[in-house]
């Protein structure tokens, strides 16, 4: 108890501070979007020089760019190509050695693409062929071809052919990856209907920088958005804002606990008001209130949050994403999301549907079929299997226990000797997810070894603070910092002794 005492005593204050901090979204910055900001030198934007400096300071030891931990090949490839193109366009002699090292790193990272457990990053098959062609044109790549990238061309064509009317606008999620059109691809874009109200293209700094450079040069609204989204050092996040995703996840994590007293509940109300106001009957919600395409993942999560906090929203919005064999995240989408279906299960359960209801059975059958080795799940939005697996246990515990019994065993079997969990390295985030799952499983009447929970809680109490490695999958890896912090605080609250 003594080791945990400082955390236990201050836990309420941490929760209080967290609820005050939640807002437009706090996210780690990355090399990919920063590389696009660095290109703004063509427009005379001062932030571009800072972005270039950031890139030079953050090239990794092997010559690549991307997250240092974990090593995720798709992240390294797309970040490295974007950074190479930004540097090559500057044409500085002193960058030649950086470019040489970067090109050499691609041989390994492209060979490792098949090893990434959760698959490609967002828009990878659309963006990388464009970046690769540009890199060759700029002289950054001297080999004829990188063999594995040849396979992306048919995937790109298939995705483009599925677009309504064959063009990209703000009504489809491909807008988030508009830079895939390249300097000469304006004909692929429905330019008059591409920008969101905040001036961005898809709430993406990289797509918006591309728009300001090649589509509507020096567009004032786009540049104002980029100034807002970019940090003082010139670096940029994967997406901004994400003012639904952040409060929804924070409230979801906290609602698992008994830690919300009257004062903390009062602090939750403005976030609940915001989520309720952003909800569209029959369609649900997106990761941000101003983002045009709604999605089944955020809709299901927010449905559960609002319902459990006593707000009334329609289940029809969740059912809007029902497909023949599963629930969609987006329409269209090339492959289903495991976590979306897990969150749909949580929403359907929250709505009071019996486990034998046809919609519930559709989800549970899909999850059974997609379970890896009958033990755990990967998801396309997260690099760690502990994320989807823990979410599934929480959604099913006491409702569809047979679906997740082996997953509980897998979590217990893969705990590290020091009490932590981590697919790549031990992390507070993954340890928090596992503790949440085990604590909820225990609260639903199942036996869990106390030693596993106690050791995990002790380790988490000692390693609860930032920085958290980027484990979430966007165009590259990122970390939604307050979301992760809320999971850590939730886990500590659930496992207090």
Q: Which residues contact 389 (CB under 8 A, 6 or more apart)?
A: 376, 377, 407, 410, 411, 437
**How would you classify residue 27: left for phi > 0, otherwise alpha for psi between -120 and 50, otherwise beta?**
beta
Last residue of a domain, one of 199, 229, 259: 229
* Within-domain flag for 277: yes
pLDDT of residue 143: 67
Looking up residue 471, the CATH number of its domain turns out to be 1.50.10.20
In this structure, are 35 and 19 located in the same domain? Answer: no
pLDDT of residue 147: 61
Q: Does the pLDDT at position 442 exceed 50?
A: yes
What is the extent of the structural domain holding 185? 30-229
Whole-angstrom Cα distance, residue 308 to residue 63?
A: 48
* Within-domain flag for 236: no
pLDDT of residue 466: 81
The string of pLDDT tens digits covering residues 85-96 is: 999 999 899 999
Secondary structure of the chain as H, E, C letters: CCCCHHHHHHHHHHHHHHHHHCCCCCECEEHHHHHHHHHHHHHCCCHHHHHHHHHHHCCCCCCCCCCCCCCCHHHHHHHHHHHHHHHHHHCCHHHHHHHHHHHHHHHHHHHCHHHCCCCCCCCHHHHHHHHHHHHHHHCCCCCCCCHHHHHHHHHHHHHHHCCHHHCECCCCHHHHHHHHHCCCCHHHECHHHCCCCCCCECCEHHHHHHHHHHHCCCCHHHHHHHHHHCCCCCCEECCCCCCCHHHHHHHHHHHCCCCCCHHHHHHHHHHHHHHHHHCECCCEECCCCCCCCCEHHHHHHHHHHHHHCCCCCCCHHHHCCECCCCECCCCCCCCCCHHHHHHHHHHHHHCCCCCCCHHHHHHHHHHHHHCECCCECCECCECCHHHHHHHHHHHHCCCCHHHCHHHHHHHHHCCCCCCCCCCCCCCHHHHHHHHHHHHHHHHCCCCCCHHHHHHHHHHHHHCCCCCCCCCEECCCEECEHHHHHHHHHHHHHHCCC
Q: Tell me which residue of 468, 25, 76 sits closest to 238, measured CA to CA.
A: 25
* Within-domain flag for 480: yes
The string of pLDDT tens digits covering residues 147-158 is: 656 677 666 666
Question: Mean per-residue pLDDT for 407-416?
Answer: 98
* Within-domain flag for 125: yes
Band (1; pLDDT cuts 50, 70, 90): very low
pLDDT of residue 148: 59
pLDDT of residue 5: 42
Question: Mean per-residue pLDDT for 68-88?
Answer: 97
In this structure, are 208 and 352 located in the same domain? Answer: no
In this structure, are 20 and 62 located in the same domain? Answer: no
* Within-domain flag for 234: no
* Within-domain flag for 235: no
In this structure, are 51 and 164 located in the same domain? Answer: yes
pLDDT of residue 221: 98
Asked if 256 contacts 487 with a C-beta cutoff of 8 angstroms, the reply is no
pLDDT of residue 6: 42
Question: Mean per-residue pLDDT for 240-254?
Answer: 98
Whole-angstrom Cα distance, residue 48 to residue 38?
A: 4
Per the prediction, the chain carries an average pLDDT of: 93
The string of pLDDT tens digits covering residues 265-289 is: 999 999 999 999 999 999 999 999 9
Which pTM was predicted? 0.94
In this structure, are 19 and 35 located in the same domain? Answer: no
Last residue of a domain, one of 202, 229, 256: 229
Number of domains in the chain: 2
In this structure, are 223 and 263 located in the same domain? Answer: no
**How would you classify residue 105: left for phi > 0, otherwise alpha for psi between -120 and 50, otherwise beta?**
alpha
Looking up residue 108, the CATH number of its domain turns out to be 1.50.10.160
In this structure, are 361 and 217 located in the same domain? Answer: no
In this structure, are 168 and 286 located in the same domain? Answer: no
In this structure, are 123 and 180 located in the same domain? Answer: yes
* Within-domain flag for 351: yes
Structure tokens at 70: 């974990």
Residue that wins the pLDDT comparison between 286 and 331: 286
* Within-domain flag for 139: yes
pLDDT of residue 144: 52
> With 0-12 CB in 10 A as exposed, 13-18 as middle and 19+ as buried, what is 324?
exposed
pLDDT of residue 186: 87
Last residue of a domain, one of 229, 251, 268: 229
pLDDT of residue 2: 36
pLDDT of residue 10: 87
Q: Determine how many CB atoms are found less than 10 A away from the CB of residue 381.
A: 18
Whole-angstrom Cα distance, residue 137 to residue 142?
A: 9
In this structure, are 201 and 275 located in the same domain? Answer: no
Q: Tell me which residue of 422, 457, 406 sits closest to 69, measured CA to CA.
A: 422
In this structure, are 121 and 182 located in the same domain? Answer: yes
In this structure, are 248 and 343 located in the same domain? Answer: yes
Q: Does the pLDDT at position 19 exceed 90?
A: yes
Name the percent of the chain lying above pLDDT 70.
94
pLDDT of residue 140: 80
Band (4; pLDDT cuts 50, 70, 90): very low
Q: Which residues contact 143 (CB under 8 A, 6 or more apart)?
A: none
């Amino acid at each position: 108890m003594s080791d945990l005492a400082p955390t236990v005593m201050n836990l309420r204050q941490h929760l209080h501070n967290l609820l005050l901090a939640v807002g437009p979204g706090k996210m780690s910055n990355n090399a990919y979007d920063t590389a696009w900001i660095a290109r703004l030198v063509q427009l005379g934007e001062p932030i571009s020089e800072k972005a270039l400096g950031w890139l030079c300071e953050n090239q990794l030891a092997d010559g690549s760019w991307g997250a240092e931990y974990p090593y995720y090949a798709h992240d390294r490839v797309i970040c490295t190509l974007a950074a190479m193109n930004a540097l090559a366009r500057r044409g500085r002699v002193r960058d030649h050695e950086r470019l040489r090292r970067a090109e050499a790193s691609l041989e390994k990272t492209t060979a490792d693409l098949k090893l990434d457990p959760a698959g490609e990053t967002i828009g990878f098959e659309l963006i990388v062929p464009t970046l690769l062609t540009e890199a060759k044109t700029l002289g950054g790549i001297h080999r004829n071809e990188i063999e594995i990238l040849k396979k992306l061309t048919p995937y790109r064509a298939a995705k483009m052919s599925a677009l309504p009317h064959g063009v990209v606008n703000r009504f489809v999620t491909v807008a988030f990856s508009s830079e895939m059109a390249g300097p000469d691809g304006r004909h692929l874009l429905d330019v008059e209907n591409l920008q969101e109200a905040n001036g961005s293209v898809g709430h993406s700094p990289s797509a918006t920088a591309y728009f300001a450079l090649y589509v509507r040069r020096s567009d004032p609204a786009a540049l104002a958005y980029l100034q807002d989204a970019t940090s003082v050092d010139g670096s940029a996040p994967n997406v901004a804002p994400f003012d639904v995703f952040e409060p929804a996840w924070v409230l979801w994590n906290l609602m698992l606990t008994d830690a919300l007293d009257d004062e903390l509940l009062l602090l939750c109300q403005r976030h609940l008001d915001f989520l309720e106001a952003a909800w569209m009957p029959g369609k649900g919600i997106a990761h941000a209130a101003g983002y045009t395409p709604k999605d089944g993942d955020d809709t299901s999560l927010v449905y559960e949050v609002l319902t459990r906090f006593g707000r009334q929203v329609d289940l029809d919005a969740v059912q809007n994403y029902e497909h023949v064999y599963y629930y969609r995240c987006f329409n269209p989408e090339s492959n289903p999301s495991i976590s979306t279906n897990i969150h749909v299960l949580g929403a359907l359960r929250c709505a009071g549907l019996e486990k034998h209801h046809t919609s519930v059975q559709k989800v549970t059958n899909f999850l059974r079929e997609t379970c890896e080795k009958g033990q755990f799940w990967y998801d396309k939005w997260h690099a760690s299997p502990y994320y989807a697996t823990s979410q599934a246990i929480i959604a099913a515990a006491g409702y569809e226990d047979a679906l997740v019994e082996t997953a509980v065993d897998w979590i217990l079997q893969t705990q590290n000797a020091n009490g932590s969990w981590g697919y790549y390295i031990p992390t507070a985030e993954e340890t928090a997810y596992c503790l949440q799952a085990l604590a909820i499983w225990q609260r639903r009447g199942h036996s869990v070894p106390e030693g596993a929970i106690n050791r995990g809680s002790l380790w988490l109490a000692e390693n609860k603070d930032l920085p958290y490695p980027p484990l979430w999958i966007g165009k590259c890896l990122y970390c939604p910092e307050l979301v992760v912090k809320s999971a850590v605080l939730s886990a500590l609250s659930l496992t207090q002794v």
